[in-house]
Amino acid sequence: MKEPRIYTTSSDYAYQELRHKIITKQLKPGQRLPEVSIAVQMGVSRTPVREALRRLGTEGLVNIIPNSGARLAAPTPREIEDTFLVREQLESLAIRLAAERIDDRHLRRLEEAMIEEARAIDEKELEAYLEVNESFHTTIADASGNKVLAKLVRDIIARTNAYVVFYDPFYQNETVPTVDVHREILVALRHHDAEKCVKLMKRHLREAAAGINQSQSLLPESVHGHGKEDAVEKEPKE
């Protein structure tokens, strides 16, 4: 049984509720997110909604358009490809360093993340899956011993997580992810085999990017473009 969310501020409430709607695909890529309507629906003022949208913007989930309002992001195939290319380079370096330095503490964290990841996949909980999948990858980055690199990996994962939210068919039975590649990576790390670790990580990320791009290409054109019926409306002034 899932524990109820605890909100510390109105901004946190707006952020968590909007993020939940995005992750559970109640909102579509490119959809307008008018502050006034959202504030009324949530029973809060526009200020916490604006703060929540800005926070979602830093995660790559929302685009803030000056003098026009906010839209749910709609990443292009080129943007997805470019971002995963950067992520591949960062995580390849991270895992090469980690293969030399990883200790039992980090290995245990990876094992625990895999157990939670398998549970999230089995229960089809995308929010939990993203959290533990991110934990697996950031643990490897932490094990590299390079704090600057670890922060860059966290930032790029937040952006690619947005692509998973928008385009990965997580809830379809025939496309359910597995922990098999993570298991192979863990074995290679245990053996401190840097070359194999890098090879597995590159394959893993390239397959992830290809899967997302393929899923995006199968979506109807109305999801990629906004069309005349979805013209940008300016937010009213306060």
Please give the C-alpha separations between residue 185 and each of 102, 112, 190, 208, 224, in angstroms, as whole numbers.
13, 14, 9, 15, 35
- Domain 10-72, what fold? Arc Repressor Mutant, subunit A (1.10.10)
Please give the C-alpha separations between residue 48 and each of 39, 52, 69, 221, in angstroms, as whole numbers.
8, 6, 14, 33
Contact 153, 91 (CB under 8 A): yes
Distance CA 144, CA 93 (A): 8
Distance CA 197, CA 99 (A): 7
Burial of 217 (0-12, 13-18, 19+ CB in 10 A): exposed
Q: Which residue has the tokens 């830093």?
A: 58
Element spanning 72, H or E: strand 69-72
Q: Map out the domains of the chain as residue ranges.
A: 10-72, 77-217
CA angle, corner 137, sides to 15 and 161, nearest 5? 35
Q: So what's the pLDDT on residue 40? A: 95
Distance CA 225, CA 214 (A): 17
The string of DSSP codes covering 80-101 is: HHHHHHHHHHHHHHHHHHHHHH
Q: So what's the pLDDT on residue 29? A: 87
Residue type, 184: E
Taking the model in full, what pTM does it have?
A: 0.80
Q: So what's the pLDDT on residue 164? A: 86
CATH fit for domain 77-217, picks 3.40.50.300, 1.20.120.530, 3.40.50.720, 1.10.3720.10: 1.20.120.530
Q: So what's the pLDDT on residue 149? A: 98
Instruction: Give me the tens of pLDDT residue by residue for the chain, a chain 238 residues long.
Output: 455 566 789 999 999 999 889 888 888 888 999 999 999 999 999 999 999 999 999 888 999 988 888 999 988 889 999 999 999 999 999 999 999 999 999 999 999 999 999 999 998 888 899 999 999 999 999 999 999 999 999 999 988 988 888 887 665 655 567 899 999 999 999 999 999 999 999 999 999 998 888 877 655 554 454 433 343 344 555 4
